[in-house]
Amino acid sequence: MSDNEQLPAWCPGDGWCSITATASLVGKKWHPVIIHRLLTRGPLGFNALQDEVDGISSKVLSESLDDLEEKQVVDRTIVSEKPVRVEYALTELGESLEPVVTALEDWGEEHLQPVDEEAASVV
């Protein structure tokens, strides 16, 4: 990726800037899940993606996809006009997040307790 294809950072030169800028991108609740699903399932339509991201509302998914598209992580393509069907896929920048998302997944599997789904649904 060349310099003109890189995302802007608000704190260039600070030693912690790259960590903070990356965390702000993948640190939103649904962003890493959306990226993970697109990494593992490939391009998906909106409804299929919503099915893959269990628990996300249409509004939040739409806002998250808009944010990820604005940050050049996700690309939105119109597949058909009638009826309108769009498909979401990771850009090259989005695909480059694979080691980050995989590291989050691996860390969680190693250090977090499994969730009792019945107890979790009561909360």
Q: What is the mean pLDDT of residues 109-115?
A: 83
Q: State the residue range of the domain holding 44.
A: 31-112
56 in any annotated domain = yes
123 pLDDT higher than 50: no
Quote the number of domains for the chain: 1
104 in any annotated domain = yes
Alpha helices in 27-116 (DSSP H): 31-41, 46-52, 58-70, 92-95, 98-111
The helix or strand, by DSSP H or E, that contains position 18, with its residue range, turns out to be helix 17-26
Say what the pTM is. Answer: 0.79
Q: What's the pLDDT score for residue 114?
A: 75
DSSP per-residue string spanning 98-114: HHHHHHHHHHHHHHSPP
Looking up residue 97, the CATH number of its domain turns out to be 1.10.10.10
26 in any annotated domain = no
- Compare 120 and 88 and report the one with higher pLDDT: 88
11 in any annotated domain = no
Contact 65, 34 (CB under 8 A): yes
74 pLDDT higher than 80: yes
